[in-house]
């Protein structure tokens, strides 16, 4: 049986190993982020990485998540930076604003055909797409799961929204309505396509 001093030493070694690994993982993610942003700058359109992030988000978010506030939260920008970026993207013809059908005070952001084409051609950037494409499918799936889990933990710690994929939400009701799924929060129907989109109201199922 171990004495108290050796248990404390063991816990301390494990803690230090864990911190070393956390530092290594943080450094890898930081470098990957830098590479990704560098590639996004080379799209030849004069768009900044934050613009590309906004466009790629709008290409996959659902109808509850396409407001300026949701985009701002997703990219983690300040309100001022975000509204300037939205204005640039609107001026360049990548997105358009439209009033919400039910509440004219709410603004929705929709990609134009030019915006959709830009995302199709530029996100993910080519080199990133090919490097990930060379991974084994199981490794890709494992990496996606691990990164999504890490992101969710960090978002929870920060009290931020999850922005998860709809069909993994605790409010998602599969086949609850004739011919469609249902959102348990809004009670509105959801198509298969919508169930694959990102939602700002997403909540993780209970463990």
* CB nearer ligand SF4, residue 39 or residue 194: 194
169 binds ligand SF4 per the rule CB under 6 A: yes
171 DSSP 8-state letter: T
Q: Residues 68 to 107: which contact ligand SF4 by CB under 6 A?
A: none
From 154, 144, 121, select the one nearest 45 (Cα to Cα): 121
Q: How far is the CB of 202 from ligand SF4 (least distance, A)?
A: 4
C-alpha 197: how far from its chain's center? 10
Q: How far is the CB of 171 from ligand SF4 (least distance, A)?
A: 4
* CB nearer ligand SF4, residue 116 or residue 173: 173
| Residue 37 DSSP SS3 | helix
172 binds ligand SF4 per the rule CB under 6 A: yes
61 binds ligand SF4 per the rule CB under 6 A: no
CA dist 191 and 196 (Å) reads 9
CA dist 102 and 36 (Å) reads 38
Size of the site for ligand SF4 (CB under 6 A): 11
CA dist 121 and 124 (Å) reads 8
36 binds ligand SF4 per the rule CB under 6 A: no
Q: Which of 58, 75, 119, 199 binds ligand SF4 (CB under 6 A)?
A: 199
C-alpha 71: how far from its chain's center? 10
From 184, 180, 179, select the one nearest 203 (Cα to Cα): 184
109 binds ligand SF4 per the rule CB under 6 A: no
* CB nearer ligand SF4, residue 37 or residue 161: 161
Instruction: Summarize as ranges the residues that interact with ligand SF4 (CB under 6 A).
Output: 62, 64, 166, 169, 171-172, 183, 185, 199, 201-202
């Amino acid at each position: 049986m171990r004495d108290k001093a050796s248990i404390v030493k063991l816990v301390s070694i494990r803690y230090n190993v864990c911190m070393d690994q956390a530092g290594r993982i943080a450094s890898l993610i930081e470098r990957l982020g830098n590479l990704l942003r560098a590639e996004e700058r080379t799209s030849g359109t004069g768009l900044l990485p934050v613009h590309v992030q906004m466009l790629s988000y709008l290409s996959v978010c659902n109808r509850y998540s396409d407001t300026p506030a949701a985009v701002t939260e997703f990219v983690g920008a300040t309100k001022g930076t975000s509204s300037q970026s939205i204005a640039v993207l609107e001026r360049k013809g990548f997105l358009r604003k439209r009033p919400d059908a039910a509440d004219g005070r709410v603004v929705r952001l929709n990609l134009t055909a030019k915006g959709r084409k830009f995302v199709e051609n530029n996100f993910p950037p080519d080199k990133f797409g090919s490097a990930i494409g060379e991974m084994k499918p199981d490794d890709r799936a494992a990496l996606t799961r691990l990164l999504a889990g890490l992101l969710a933990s960090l978002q929870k710690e920060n009290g931020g929204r999850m922005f998860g994929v709809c069909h993994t939400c605790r409010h998602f009701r599969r086949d609850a309505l004739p011919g469609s799924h249902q959102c348990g929060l809004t009670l509105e129907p959801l198509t298969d396509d919508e169930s694959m989109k990102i939602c700002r109201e997403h909540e993780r199922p209970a463990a």
